[in-house]
């Protein structure tokens, strides 16, 4: 099939247009929403071209003053808030729990992380023993990693031992209560009706009776099933304690993450002919920002691109491929698809492409010697999509470029473990920035706020409007970007009603002083 298509590519555009229309019928596997072997054959033929050539030209010639670099890399000053190390009331562990609570968590690592925090809070509300949460296999990443493979279970249990009772496994009399048991029929012990952002009273009225009748309750689905408002202060503080103290990664993830942080701060070059690194001395580096690095979370996979319904410059073939993916995976239920690309961009609803996030970083004052760590699973469009970003930041690194084959083998093929490594490196970076809102962005903004670390939040609406203006030159763009991001670099924003405690930890998780 590929030989035939390449032959027609050489014959003329008519054949190409016909094949574009027929390929989903002739070879539906190429458009499989869950396939990983070939996310988009078309994107390999029609390599996405830079969409902002004038701005790219200006960015490549950018001049940045030492004063601007100093301001950019300076850590955040104290902002009047600090971590609350202890709950205000001494925790009391009930002698006789009401039963066992199980939860089954969907999503990627960061959505599951928030679900774990909520599960502990619900167990506390119900005076129940929590079974170590079950992590569902992610349908997009197809990762079957368990809680124990990602998080340090002993640490988790020990930190929370005075708050709630936690068990690794159910006792023998409840061993029948498995994920498979709930998958085949309606079960009296399964609670499926938990509303999004349910109150504490909802759990007391609807789940506690199940616990009292059967001694066990399994809540699924569970993600986002606990409210952020109108909860007792001790429950809010407990959620914070889980997120910022109890959830730590298994030792080998922490060790690998620490190794990557060290290699980013003290650049190393591979030793010729060997799978190891030689540390570069300080004298070998002439960068103004030596010893510092910025993490860019670049979630630009096919799933995200299709769901956004935006145009990313891959041409008609890419638009058709994404539309097909969207139709198969969500049956057309993507609200953004009813708007034009211009409307979506002007409203800030389009994720930034690698090219656009590179222009943003350049306009903010990051120079070509900036060490940039790319936290990303898989970029839709491959290297062609990243090439503009790499031109702006040639010292860009990622997990593969910084690890040995032996190190990478321990996490390769496990999306959650790879995400955990990125989380560790992101948390310990000098500056963090995300190219699109999402669970990783939300979790990292919250955690770095808790640590008072610099985090740049892109002004998506402003950037969308700037990128639509094709007549803007580099100096105008640079000035608009800097003005629009002056107060978006880690300044604490207090949580408002209905906002997530995991994204905005003040004032629930932090104390004034």
Helix or strand run (H / E) with residue 361? helix 354-364
Q: What percent of the chain has pLDDT over 70?
A: 85
Do 128 and 264 belong together in one domain? no
Do 417 and 388 belong together in one domain? yes
Dist. CA 102–CA 129, nearest whole Å: 9
> DSSP letter string over 258-319?
HHHHHHHHS-EEEPTTSSSEEEPPGGG---TTTT--EEEE----HHHHHHHT---S-HHHHH
SS3 at position 432 = strand
Picking from 194, 195, 224, the residue whose alpha carbon sits closest to that of residue 207 is: 194
Q: Cis before residue 507, ω within 30 degrees of 0?
A: yes
**What is the per-residue pLDDT across 230-246, written as a single tens digit (0 to 9) for each?**
999 999 999 999 999 99
- pLDDT (0 to 100) of residue 269: 54
Q: Which pairs with CB-CB distance under 8 Å and at least 24 residues apart come from 474-477?
A: 474/54, 474/55, 474/57, 474/58, 474/59, 474/61, 474/62, 475/58, 477/55, 477/58, 477/359, 477/363
Do 238 and 266 belong together in one domain? no
- pLDDT (0 to 100) of residue 337: 80
* Section 210-233 average pLDDT: 96
**What is the per-residue pLDDT across 249-295, written as a single tens digit (0 to 9) for each?**
999 999 999 999 999 999 865 444 444 544 544 444 454 567 999 99
- pLDDT (0 to 100) of residue 288: 56
Report yes or no on 117 lying in a domain.
yes
Contacts of 206 (CB under 8 A, 6+ apart): 191, 193, 194
Contacts of 92 (CB under 8 A, 6+ apart): none
Tokens of 136: 């569902």
Higher pLDDT, 355 or 96: 355
Picking from 311, 424, 296, 429, the residue whose alpha carbon sits closest to that of residue 364 is: 296
Helix or strand run (H / E) with residue 130? strand 129-131
pLDDT at 60 over 90: yes
pLDDT at 6 over 50: no
Tokens of 325: 């993916």
pLDDT at 389 over 70: yes
Do 280 and 377 belong together in one domain? yes
Higher pLDDT, 391 or 377: 391
Do 138 and 275 belong together in one domain? no
Contacts of 375 (CB under 8 A, 6+ apart): 295, 296, 297, 298, 398, 422, 425, 426, 440
CA atoms within a 13 Å half-sphere pointing along the CA-CB vector of 186 = 2
Helix or strand run (H / E) with residue 17? helix 13-26
pLDDT at 397 over 90: yes
Helix axes 354-364, 53-60, angle to 10 degrees: 40
Report yes or no on 140 lying in a domain.
yes
pLDDT at 43 over 80: no
SS3 per-residue string spanning 195-224: CCCCCHHHHHHHCHHHHHHHCEEEECCCCC
Report yes or no on 76 lying in a domain.
no
- Contact predicate 434/356, CB 8 Å: no
**What is the per-residue pLDDT across 138-194, written as a single tens digit (0 to 9) for each?**
777 788 899 999 999 999 999 999 999 999 999 999 999 999 999 999 999 999 999
Do 265 and 372 belong together in one domain? yes
Q: What percent of the chain has pLDDT over 90?
A: 68
510-512 and 396-397 beta bridge pairing = unpaired
Report yes or no on 2 lying in a domain.
no
Tokens of 207: 């789940």
Task: Indicate the average pLDDT of the chain.
Answer: 86
Do 178 and 214 belong together in one domain? yes
- pLDDT (0 to 100) of residue 378: 81
**Roughly how many angstroms between the first and final C-alpha of the chain, as a whole number?**
67
- pLDDT (0 to 100) of residue 138: 77
Q: 9-23, 233-247, 430-444, 483-497: which has the minimum mean pLDDT?
A: 9-23
**What is the per-residue pLDDT across 429-465, written as a single tens digit (0 to 9) for each?**
999 999 988 899 999 999 999 999 999 999 999 999 9
Report yes or no on 325 lying in a domain.
no
Report yes or no on 346 lying in a domain.
no
The domain tally of the chain equals 2
Do 282 and 169 belong together in one domain? no
Query: How would you classify residue 250: left for phi > 0, otherwise alpha for psi between -120 and 50, otherwise beta?
Result: beta
> DSSP letter string over 61-101?
T----HHHHHHHHSPPPP-SEEE--S-SS-----SS---EE
**What is the per-residue pLDDT across 93-122, written as a single tens digit (0 to 9) for each?**
767 899 999 999 999 999 999 999 999 999
Give the angle subtended at the CA of 16 by the CAs of 11 and 19, to the nearest 5°.
125
- pLDDT (0 to 100) of residue 384: 87
| 15 burial type by CB count under 10 A (0-12 exposed, 13-18 middle, 19+ buried) | middle
- pLDDT (0 to 100) of residue 89: 58
**What is the per-residue pLDDT across 404-428, written as a single tens digit (0 to 9) for each?**
999 999 998 899 999 999 999 999 9
- pLDDT (0 to 100) of residue 513: 79
Question: Domain boundary residue among 246, 275, 291?
Answer: 246
**What is the per-residue pLDDT across 365-376, written as a single tens digit (0 to 9) for each?**
999 999 999 998
Do 224 and 261 belong together in one domain? no
Do 273 and 203 belong together in one domain? no
Under the banding of pLDDT at 50, 70 and 90, the label for residue 18 is very low
- pLDDT (0 to 100) of residue 10: 42
Report yes or no on 19 lying in a domain.
no
Report yes or no on 74 lying in a domain.
no
> Torsions phi, psi of 46, nearest 5?
-100, 75
- Contact predicate 441/304, CB 8 Å: no
Do 167 and 260 belong together in one domain? no
- Contact predicate 444/423, CB 8 Å: yes
The 10 Å Cβ neighbour count of residue 488 is: 15
Domain of residue 265 covers: 251-300+352-436+454-489
CA atoms within a 13 Å half-sphere pointing along the CA-CB vector of 22 = 9
Tokens of 297: 């979370």
Do 177 and 284 belong together in one domain? no
């Amino acid at each position: 099939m590929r030989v035939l298509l390449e032959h027609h590519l050489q014959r003329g555009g008519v054949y190409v247009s016909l094949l574009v229309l027929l390929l989903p019928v002739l070879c539906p596997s190429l458009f499989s929403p869950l396939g990983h072997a070939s996310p988009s054959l078309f994107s390999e033929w029609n390599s996405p071209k830079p969409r902002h050539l004038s701005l790219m030209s200006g960015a490549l010639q950018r001049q940045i003053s030492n004063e601007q670099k100093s301001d950019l890399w300076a850590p955040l000053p104290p902002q009047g808030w600090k971590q609350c190390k202890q709950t205000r009331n001494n925790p009391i562990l009930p002698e006789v729990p009401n039963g066992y609570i199980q939860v089954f968590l969907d999503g990627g690592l960061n959505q599951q992380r928030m679900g774990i925090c909520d599960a502990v809070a619900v167990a506390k509300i119900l005076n129940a023993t929590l079974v170590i949460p079950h992590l569902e296999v992610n349908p997009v990443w197809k990762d079957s990693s368990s809680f124990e493979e990602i998080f340090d279970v002993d640490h988790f249990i020990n930190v929370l031992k005075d708050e709630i009772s936690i068990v690794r496994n159910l006792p023998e009399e409840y061993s029948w209560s498995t994920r498979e048991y709930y998958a085949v029929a309606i079960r009296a012990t399964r609670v499926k009706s938990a509303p999004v952002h349910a109150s504490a009273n909802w759990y007391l009225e609807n789940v506690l009776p199940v616990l009292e009748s059967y001694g066990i309750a399994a809540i699924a689905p569970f993600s986002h099933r606990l409210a952020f408002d109108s909860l007792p202060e001790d429950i809010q503080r407990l959620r914070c304690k889980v997120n910022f103290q109890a959830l730590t990664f298994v030792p080998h993830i922490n060790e690998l993450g620490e190794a990557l942080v060290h290699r980013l701060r003290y650049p190393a070059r591979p030793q010729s002919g060997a799978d190891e690194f030689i540390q570069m001395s300080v004298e070998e580096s002439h960068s103004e920002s030596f010893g510092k690095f910025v993490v860019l979370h670049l979630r630009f996979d096919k799933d995200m691109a299709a769901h956004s319904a935006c145009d990313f410059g891959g041409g008609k073939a890419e638009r058709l491929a994404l539309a097909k993916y969207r139709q198969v995976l969500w049956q057309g239920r993507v609200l953004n698809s009813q708007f034009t690309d211009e409307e979506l961009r002007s409203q800030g609803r389009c994720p930034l492409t690698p090219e656009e996030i590179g222009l943003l970083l350049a306009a903010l004052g990051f120079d070509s010697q900036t060490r940039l760590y790319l936290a990303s699973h898989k970029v839709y469009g491959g290297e062609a999509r990243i090439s503009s970003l790499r031109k702006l930041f040639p010292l860009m690194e990622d997990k593969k470029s910084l690890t040995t084959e032996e190190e990478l083998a321990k996490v390769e093929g496990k999306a959650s473990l790879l995400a955990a490594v990125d989380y560790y490196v992101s948390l310990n970076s000098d500056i963090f920035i995300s190219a699109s809102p999402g669970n990783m962005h939300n979790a990292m903004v919250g955690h770095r706020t808790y640590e008072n670390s610099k985090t740049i939040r892109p002004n998506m609406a402003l950037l969308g409007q700037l990128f639509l203006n094709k007549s803007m030159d580099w100096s105008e763009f640079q000035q608009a970007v800097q003005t629009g991001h002056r107060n978006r670099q880690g300044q604490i924003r207090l949580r408002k009603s209905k906002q997530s405690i995991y994204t905005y930890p003040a004032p629930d998780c932090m104390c004034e002083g």
